[in-house]
Amino acid sequence: MRLEGKVALITGGAHGVEGELMGFGGASARLFVQEGAKVVLGDIAVEDGGKTASQLRDAGHDALFVKLDVTNEQDWQNAIETTISNFGRLDIMVNNAGTGAPGDVEETTEDIWQSQMDVHAKGVFLGTKYAIPEMRKVGGGSIINISSIYGIVGSVGSTAYHAAKGAIRIFTKSAAVQYASENIRVNSVHPGFIATPLTRRGFDDPERQEFMLSRIPMGRIGDPYEIAKGIVYLASDESSYMTGSELVIDGGMTAQ
C-alpha cells in the first residue's frame, strides 16, 4: 500500500478498461488503486473513461472520471475542483495525456506543430500550475510528467512530437528546482516503444515493427504496466529524494 491515503489526478487516463489494450494512464490508475490511492481520471474519451472508473469502483476502489481537455484552462480548473470536492486533497499529478504526429521538418505544418505543443507542453504546464497550490496545502506532492525517449533523442520523423516532448523534459527540471523547497517533487518519465492504443496502428505494420525491434537491445516492445510501475515509484515516498530527474524505460534503446 505504497500510496495509501494519497489522491491522484491522472490525465489521459481513459484507456484502462479490463481486457482491452491500456494506455499509460489507465494502467497507472489500476496500479495506483491497488497501492491504496484514490484516483481521478481525466480525458476527452468520455465513454472509455467512464467505463474505466466504473470498473475500478465496482472492484471496491475510490475512482471517478472527469472530462478534461488538457489544452483548456477552464477544464483544468473544473478537474481540480472535482478532485478536491470529492476527495479533499491532491497529492499526485500525472500529466500523461498525449497525441502523435508524424512528419519531418518540411512536412510539419504550423497547425500540427501548434497542436503538439498545446497537448504536450501547454497541457503539462497547466496541470503543474494548478496542482501546485493544492499540494502546497497538504505539505507537498509528486508531479509526474510523461515525456518520451523522443524528448531526449531525435529520429527521422515526428518533428513536432520531438519538440513538444523535449519541452516537457526541460519544463520538468525548471519546475522541480522552483518547488523543491516546498516538498513538491517534479519528475519526467521517458517511455520507449510501448504497445498502447495510441501506438497500435503503427505497431501493426510488420515492416515498422521489425524496424523498431531491431533498435531495442531487449528485442521486444514494452507493456504499459512496465511504464506504470515506474510512475508508481515516482508517486510514492520511495522516490522522496528524486526531483528534476528523467526516468527512462525503453528496453535499452537510448543506451546505444
pLDDT tens digits along 103-122: 999 999 999 999 999 999 99
Amino acid at the residue 226: E
179 labelled catalytic? no
Residue among 150, 161, 225, 241 flagged as catalytic:
161
Per-residue pLDDT at 76 exceeds 90: yes
Mean pLDDT of the chain: 96
The alpha carbon torsion through 180, 32, 97, 63 (nearest 10 deg) reads -120
Output 39 or 206, whichever has higher pLDDT.
39
Describe the chain by its helix, strand, coil percentages, rounded to 5.
Answer: 50, 15, 35
Structural domains present in the chain: 7-245 (3.40.50.720)
Cβ contacts of residue 129 below 8 Å, gap of 6+? Answer: none
Sign of the Cα pseudo-torsion (156, 24, 134, 47, in order): positive
What average pLDDT score do residues 92-100 get? 96
Residue 41 near residue 48, CB atoms below 8 Å: no
Do 29 and 52 meet the contact criterion of CB atoms below 8 Å apart?
yes
For residues 74-92, give the mean pLDDT: 98
Is the CB of residue 243 less than 8 Å from the CB of residue 180? yes
Position 256 scores a pLDDT of 92
pTM equals 0.96
What pLDDT score was predicted for residue 122?
98
Q: Give residue 178's pLDDT band: very low, low, confident or very high (50, 70, 90).
A: very high
Q: What is the pLDDT of residues 111-168, one digit of tens each?
A: 999 999 999 999 999 999 999 999 999 999 999 999 999 999 999 889 999 999 999 9
- Cite the DSSP H helix spans in 41-122: 46-58, 73-87, 110-116
